[in-house]
Copies of this chain bind each other. A is one copy, B any other.
């Protein structure tokens, strides 16, 4: 149970304990962007709801135009103009035509559009068409986009801008989405102080609450900043118990020193079954990460170092937030680059190496070598590369995928 897993193994282990939140809420479309569908969406009507023109032009019987050209045009009887958004009061007979603007409804009988550029008004209610069109030309038939009854989106779909458009086209003004997971964020450490106080000797500001809250927000969670917890088992048990009672996931950062680390594990084990399921991950930075489950709720014990805490929140809490919403983890975009120099790594752990990107024929990934634990490291980097656990580093000029920050 307490073996050192890598990130993928850790996620597999954690995933077994995650259940999708059962609660959903009905949201107006304009608030549903980025949210996860709680139920499949079936089309109750055809989209488009009628046969629409894609151009400004004449609706025709295609057969009337067969063989028509500049030299041998077809002559059709003009029946009038279709008004946007109004019922079409007439039916087109063979030999007849009608003007339809882009997006307008074709009169019954018509089965093709001729662009207005190919039409000449001969007067006396006659129009000359100098092009042969086949049935279906320049029109979108009723249901071409979505047929009534089809499942448009499955549950778990993360709604993007155009998905909202699709839902709107179906006449939906609201949509059922999974409730945002509430994520408690606790920072442990006797040295930590609130942002609006002045630090005394040996004291530093609590940094992780902001980094973690924003990371949670970006992954679709609702951060609940639960403040600073002193290095005391009883106080930690109390704070953790409260967080577990009100939230769906708990992030505890800190406990970098041996004593505090033990408190976090002890508190998790005291608050429900099965307790700690994972203690230590084969990754640098991030090794002292732990995971516990108390009666179905996950607690992630993250390192105190801001950089390590961010990496672990991004790689572990991110997927957990997707699973809690019944969805898939967010895609992490990468850029292809070449290492600018040799990058050693032989820690027996997977390593995240921060880099800046320099432009060139192929972008160069330049490692940011600096002391660990500096909060500004991430702000000074463009991204990072992952060096696998069993790799002794990368030579200069090696192709690498750079994850963007």
A interface residues, Cβ below 8 angstroms from B? 29-30, 33, 47-50, 52, 54, 56, 82-88, 101-105, 116, 140, 144-146, 152-153, 160-173, 189-193, 195-196, 198-215, 217-218, 223, 225, 231, 256-259, 304, 306-307, 310, 331, 333-336, 371-376, 378-379, 404-405
Closest 9 CB pairs of A and B: A333-B333, A101-B257, A162-B378, A161-B214, A87-B201, A85-B191, A165-B211, A33-B214, A84-B190
A204 touches B49 (CB 8 A): yes
Q: Cβ of A333: which chain B residues have Cβ within 8 Å of it?
A: 333-335, 404
A162 touches B405 (CB 8 A): yes
Q: Which residue of B lies closest to A162 (CB)?
A: B378
Report the Cα distance A88→B201, complex, angstroms. Answer: 8
Report the Cα distance A306→B192, complex, angstroms. Answer: 51
Q: Which residue of B lies closest to A157 (CB)?
A: B379
Q: Cβ of A85: which chain B residues have Cβ within 8 Å of it?
A: 189-193, 200, 202-203
A109 to chain B, nearest CB (A): 15
B379 touches A84 (CB 8 A): no
B50 touches A202 (CB 8 A): yes
B144 touches A215 (CB 8 A): no
A375 touches which of B33, B169, B334 (Cβ 8 Å) = B169
A103 touching B168 in the complex, CB below 8 Å, given contacts A160-B214, A211-B162, A371-B140 = no
Report the Cα distance A30→B209, complex, angstroms. Answer: 9
Choose among A49, A52, A191, A225 the residue with the greatest number of B CB atoms under 10 Å from its CB: A191
A54 touches B372 (CB 8 A): yes
Report the Cα distance A307→B306, complex, angstroms. Answer: 41
A168 touching B206 in the complex, CB below 8 Å, given contacts A173-B196, A191-B84 = yes
Report the Cα distance A242→B306, complex, angstroms. Answer: 47
B202 touches A104 (CB 8 A): yes
Q: Could you show 7 A-B contacts with beta carbons less than 8 Å apart?
A: A29-B210, A83-B202, A85-B192, A162-B306, A168-B209, A173-B196, A333-B334
A168 touching B191 in the complex, CB below 8 Å, given contacts A50-B201, A87-B202, A310-B161 = no
Task: Indicate how many identical chains form the complex.
Answer: 2
A29 touches which of B195, B212, B304, B405 (Cβ 8 Å) = B195
Report the Cα distance A376→B211, complex, angstroms. Answer: 36
Q: Cβ of A82: which chain B residues have Cβ within 8 Å of it?
A: 202
A86 touching B195 in the complex, CB below 8 Å, given contacts A54-B373, A379-B166 = no
Report the Cα distance A162→B359, complex, angstroms. Answer: 24
A162 touches B375 (CB 8 A): yes
Report the Cα distance A87→B30, complex, angstroms. Answer: 53
Report the Cα distance A335→B198, complex, angstroms. Answer: 47
Report the Cα distance A47→B196, complex, angstroms. Answer: 16
A152 touching B101 in the complex, CB below 8 Å, given contacts A86-B202, A202-B50, A205-B171 = no
A210 touches B165 (CB 8 A): yes
Q: Cβ of A102: which chain B residues have Cβ within 8 Å of it?
A: 256-257, 304
B49 touches A215 (CB 8 A): no
Q: Cβ of A259: which chain B residues have Cβ within 8 Å of it?
A: 101
A216 to chain B, nearest CB (A): 9
Report the Cα distance A378→B152, complex, angstroms. Answer: 12
B189 touches A84 (CB 8 A): yes
Choose among A210, A331, A333 the residue with the greatest number of B CB atoms under 10 Å from its CB: A210
Report the Cα distance A24→B278, complex, angstroms. Answer: 45
A56 touches B257 (CB 8 A): yes
A152 touches B204 (CB 8 A): no
Choose among A162, A223, A405 the residue with the greatest number of B CB atoms under 10 Å from its CB: A162
Give me 17 other A-B pairs in contact (C-beta within 8 A), A29-B195, A88-B202, A170-B205 excluded.
A29-B210, A30-B223, A33-B214, A49-B199, A54-B372, A54-B373, A83-B190, A88-B201, A104-B191, A152-B376, A152-B379, A153-B379, A160-B379, A165-B378, A166-B207, A166-B376, A333-B404
Report the Cα distance A256→B152, complex, angstroms. Answer: 26
